[in-house]
Amino acid sequence: MSFASLVYRLSQFWKAWRAHPGPNDLEQVRAILKPAEASLFFRLQPGEQAHSIDVLHNLIERGEAYPDLWVAALLHDVGKSCYPLNLWERVWIVLGKAIFPEKVNRWGSEYANMELSSGNKLRAPFWRRPFVVAVLHPEWGARLAETAGSSPMVVSLIRRHQDAGSRPGDVNSPTGSSPCLRDDGSQPSRENENQLLISLKAVDEES
Query: What CATH code is assigned to 3-84+136-206?
Result: 1.10.3210
Question: How far, in Å, CA of 93 to CA of 16, rounded?
Answer: 14
DSSP structural state of residue 76: T
In 3D space, the residue among 91, 100, 132, 131 whose CA is nearest the CA of residue 9 turns out to be 91
- Domains of the chain by residue range: 3-84+136-206
Which pLDDT value is given to residue 112? 77
Query: Does the structure show a pLDDT above 80 at 203?
Result: yes
Q: List, for residues 85-144, the tens digit of each pLDDT value.
A: 888 888 888 888 888 888 888 888 887 776 665 555 677 788 888 999 999 999 999 999
Query: Rounded to an integer, what distance in angstroms lies between the CA atom of residue 201 and that of residue 42?
Result: 22
**pLDDT at residue 178, rounded to an integer:** 37
Residue 169, judged by CB atoms within 10 A of its CB (0-12, 13-18, 19+), counts as exposed
DSSP character at residue 62:
T
Answer yes or no: is pLDDT of 179 > 80.
no
In this structure, of 2-11, 44-53, 98-107, the range with the lowest mean pLDDT score is 2-11
> What pTM does this model have?
0.79
Specify whether the CB–CB gap between 9 and 98 falls below 8 A: yes
pLDDT at 150 over 80: yes
Residue 60 phi/psi, 5° resolution? -65, -40
pLDDT band at 24 (very low <50, low <70, confident <90, very high): very high
Are 34 and 190 in contact, with CB atoms under 8 Å apart? no
